[in-house]
Structure 1
């Protein structure tokens, strides 16, 4: 996987030319014009810095980089992201958890978890968002339970937000079922 990098700004680029484009005028875009792809031609959208989901942040979720780099990229891309993709908020929530931004992480997770029930994308009548359901699970396990790998081994980092007092789940690791239980009392800040 190739991710371009801007040494001067210290940012991972969405693509080779993404940082050279003009930022989308969010203030002049009416709420009823979202999702953008339903109201603007892709050529217009692709000429701007605007994202339905931050793919660079998804890459960081899958292949973690330093927390400093994650923070710079998160802080840059989050305001440019419309979250028109159903998986977007789940991924943002996971990275917010890694960054210790508990309130933001929980808000993204909550929006993700109730997306279809609250018709958060305005298209629940078309069916469920299966990828988002998986994203909600990822938010719990990769975000709040902090699933990661250390020296080739599965590890967890308790990142429970204050709204979740306890979380227990089972995972199968190398053929062995393990029960993981996290509580607020066990959290290391």
Structure 2
């Protein structure tokens, strides 16, 4: 008979992301961030390719990125609402962990499996932050995939992208519960 980890199971059944708009300082310490990153890196990863890496974005870096993303958005001709939204994502974040997809060229493991490992890493970082008592949210947006912005301002290599900016901080207000998927509508039982 398997031994259930009730605390872990209850956490997963009740977990809720927190709107990045409601996050504020204080943020986790470096030691706490290292625990979150350790949990994030402990995901299924065939052949241990490590198709992900982390950038921990703090105060001045987030301010710099807010300016840079606004400039890039205007250079792309995006409307001012999109400029403001992209900038707000960085300006408002008290701390962000960028999970960088850094897929490896190999014939052994298909790219899709590496991509799934990166997504699992994002989920684990998010859940580790939440389980540690912090508010957290997974954000992407156009800038996460814009190679010139990523290369010029985050030092990413060609072909790399940000699978998620994990904004982490103190919760100002508890999130309300939202509608969840209808399990019966998305599940098919196959027994033969």
TM-score normalised to structure 1 length: 0.23
Bigger share in helix: 2
Structure number with greater CO (CA < 8 Å, separation at least 6) is: 2
TM-score normalised to structure 2 length: 0.23
